[in-house]
Amino acid sequence: MDIITIGDGMITFDPTAKGPLRFVHQFERKIGGAELNVVIGCARLGAKAGWISRLGKDEFGRHILNTVRGEGIDISEVKLMEHYATSLNFKEIQESGDSKTFYYRQNSPTETLTVESLPLDYIKNTKILHVSGVFPAITEQNREVILKAIQFAKESGVKVALDPNIRLKLWSKEQARKTLTQYLPYVDYLLTGREELEMLFDTKEDTELFSHIEKYNFEHVIVKEGAKGASYYENKKWNIVPGFPVSKVVDTVGAGDGFGAAFLYGKLQGWNIEKIMQIANAVGAMVVQVQGDNEGLPYFEEVEMFLGKRDLIER
C-alpha cells in the first residue's frame, strides 16, 4: 500500500431539503467517515490505499464494504461484526452550505478492533499511515489502538499523518488535548485547522504556537483555512498558499478530508510543498461544490481540468 488509515465507516443520511433537521422529511443514503473519506480521496487521485476498520454485519455494513471495494481500496483488514450495528449520522445543511452532524454511533463495531488485533504487518508494509482524532473519540479503547499503531509505524519507518479533526460532540476539549498531544511525538505530517491547533496547544498566540510546534519533529505542519486556502509552517512563520474561489458552496463536509488526501498524495509523488498545497487547495474547492461527504473527491485528471492544465471536452 501507499497509504492506509484506521477509522470508522458510517452511513450518512443527507437531507433532501435545507434548513433545521426537524423540518426535513426525506434523506438520501450515502457513506462517510473522516478517515474513510481520506483514503477514498487518495485512491481516486491514484494512490494504492487500504483501510483498517470494523463494520456491523448488516445491510449498511455490506453497502459500505461494497462501495469501498468499488473505489479500488484494499479491504482485507475490514471485518463485518456479528451483533453490532453499523454507525449512522444525519446531516443538517443550511443554505450557506454549512452543516451540522448528528451521530448515532454508540456500541460501535470498531470497539472489537483491539491493540492485540492490530495488523502490524499491514501497517509495516505501507508508506503512510493516516489517523485522525475522530476514531479515538468514539471509545476510550480506540485511543490505545491508535497510539500503538502510530508507535509501531514510527519504529517501522512509516510516515504518520494526523488530522486532529476534533469533534466536541464525541469528547471534551480536555480529553481531545490529552489524547492528541500524546500522539504528536510520532507524527510527521500534522494537518489541522487553526481552531484545532489552538485547542491542542491551549493558546491563540502565534509565538506560543510556534514554541509548541518546535518541540516536535514534524516534517510539515499545515493549517487549513477554508476559502482563504492553507498555510504551512516554516522558519517560525505561516506561509500562506491562497485558495480558489468557487461560484457556490453546496456542502462543506469532506473538504478538509479532500485537502488531506491531496496533500498526502502529493507527498507520495515527491512534489515540493508549494505544488502540494496548490493541488490540495484545488481539491478542497472542488469538494465543497458537490453535496455529500466524498462524492466531490476528484480523480487527478479532473484536478488538472480545474487548474486549466488539461482540456475539458464536454461533447
Question: What is d(CA 201, CA 209) in angstroms, rounded to the nearest whole number?
Answer: 7
Residue 301's nearest CA partner among 293, 290, 292, 310 is 310
Q: Are 30 and 293 in contact, with CB atoms under 8 Å apart?
A: yes
Angle between helices 273-287 and 255-269 (to 10 degrees): 150
Helix (H) or strand (E) holding 79: strand 74-81
All cell numbers assigned to 178: 490529552
26 contacts: CB under 8 Å, gap ≥ 6: 15, 16, 17
What are the angstrom distances between the C-alpha of 6 and each of 115, 200, 271?
12, 21, 25
Name the active-site residue from 74, 163, 188, 257.
257
All cell numbers assigned to 85: 450495528
Question: What is d(CA 254, CA 240) in angstroms, rounded to the nearest whole number?
Answer: 21
Whether residue 2 lies in the annotated active site: no
Question: What is d(CA 63, CA 82) in angstroms, rounded to the nearest whole number?
Answer: 16
Q: Write out 209-251 in H/E/C secondary structure.
A: HHHHHCCCCCCEEEEECHHHEEEEEECCEEEEEECCCCCCCCC
What does the DSSP 8-state code read for residue 85? Answer: P
Concatenating the DSSP letter of every residue in 163-185 gives E----TTTS-HHHHHHHHHHHGG
Cell 504518520 -> residue: 160
Catalytic residue IDs: 257
